[in-house]
Amino acid sequence: MSKDARIYSIDGGVLPAQSDAKSLTDQLDQILKLLHAEFPEAAAISLDFNGKLHVHIDVRKGEDVPLLEARLSLLEQGRFTQIARGATPGHPFSHRISALIAE
């Protein structure tokens, strides 16, 4: 009888081997690179995890906010959802756009 070295999930599906799967750091780095390339006008781009992964994009000009929201909603086939505006902590003259990052 041959041995099966594959790893299976609880539902019976085959999971990728550890060497085949991208590390979490690589996945997050890929998201940040995409956002920095798409939004070079951003003053800061950060990720936040509190049960769900969010991105925060800070810009200096208020007139950039609607365009940035529209562009963000179209990236990666709608990967960025629940887009909202908010205050930028510690930077009263900046504007923040936040979004949930779907898997």
Give per-10-residue mean pLDDT for the chain (103 aa).
Answer: 58 61 86 95 93 94 91 92 88 90 87
Q: Which fold has domain 22-101?
A: Alpha-Beta Plaits (3.30.70)
Query: What is the per-residue pLDDT for 3?
Result: 56
Query: What is the per-residue pLDDT for 15?
Result: 59
Q: Residue 59 pairs with which residues in a beta bridge?
A: 95
Query: What is the per-residue pLDDT for 103?
Result: 77
- Helix %, strand %, coil % for the chain, to 5? 30, 30, 40
**Nearest residue to 78 (alpha-carbon basis) of 54, 101, 58:** 101
